[in-house]
Structure 1
């Protein structure tokens, strides 16, 4: 719990951020690959619970799209050429994916409370952030226990109230703080940590650059630790 919000309980189902896995985006990405002549997928694509996206959801889409599983550890099998094996970056819509694909996973939290922060006041452990001017802040669900890496504090934005707003201070276990300034924000509003840049949502590239982790590591951590939900 951040010092600026000490004494305010973090309770209820909204406490846990949601890692949304879009089956629609997964199907579209698989179709783009199939249209390019890809017809198989490496079994390693399903490791780490399919990179945090969920083995059952991913396997179902690949099966319905007609992809054949190729096990690289089976040395009796002659592997197909690389251009016929599904690329994880392409199917999950990570940076560098082909045109026409989209990110499959997004991470969404919620505003728990808002508060005025006066000039000179600090937030979170160690007061890594102190307000240069009077401003307003929001306590939002999502911390390092759900894959929101601690080094994202003072280094990444979220989408909230139709704007891009910065995470400030040190990310806590289950929550973090966002500087909302004069944005119209209230309890329960959705916060998007990352998603589809085509919809104005933050990209995972910002997380990658701020943390030093690969996008594969980031989505896997989020998918395994946040409350994952498969949506259309």
Structure 2
């Protein structure tokens, strides 16, 4: 991270990215499962980062009741992959968690200049970069640098260089991007948002591992 970026990032009181959980998506997925009960395994790690209270409330509203704990060896009546809309879910499932950050600052980068720790990325030509909230401390896995893109203003922008603890760097070129703009890490591909599946391919981790890390370490907001 460059000195100018570090100073601007530290002056911001809240650099935590946002995990937005959709009750509507959870409800749709629960109803589509056609299950009548759910296992307590569905609620591990704060319901896979989605929030135990909201998941239990949605399941109850959908008419599902807790399965008999004595039947612990039985398969889950509700598949968490389907309920949370993770990669590999049925086509009818919708991702229930959207993970996003925000632009902290933008900066010109000259050809040959590097960014982030170790300067693993150096600009091939003059360009611009943005510092975005969200690093490995909030579930943006280090290996994602140089491997995936975020969406800012409806356009894909690549993450470049090493992912830091609380922030990452995104190349924005000549796009009209400014401080405060939303950067979507992953969400619903049907809405032209990056897919969690891209993160699975880049990291070798499962969708469950990635969404749980984001949901547990980002600020969480539940929407209707």
Give the TM-score taking structure 1 as reference length.
0.91
Distance of 1:148 and 1:78 partners within structure 2: 34
Aligned residues: 224
**Which residue in 2 is equivalent to 1:74?**
70
Equivalent-residue separation in structure 2 for 1:68 and 1:114 (angstroms):
49
TM superposition shift of 1:100: 2.2
Q: Is 84-93 or 17-26 further displaced after alignment?
A: 84-93
- 1:4-153 equivalences under 5 Å are 5-34=5-34, 38-71=35-68, 74-75=70-71, 79=74, 85-153=77-145
Note the aligned Cα RMSD (angstroms). Answer: 1.8
- Alpha-carbon displacement from aligned partner over 1:110-133 (angstroms, at most 9, x marks no partner): 101101100000000000100001
Question: What corresponds to 2:205 in structure 1?
Answer: 213
Shift of the 163–126 alpha-carbon distance from structure 1 to 2, 3 Å rule, reads same
TM-score normalised by the chain length of structure 2: 0.94
Question: Pick from 171, 174, 194: which aligns with 1:182?
Answer: 174
**1:48-71: CA deviation from partner (whole Å, max 9, x where unpaired):** 110010000000000111112124
1:8 is paired with a residue whose SS is helix
Unaligned runs of 5+ in 1: none
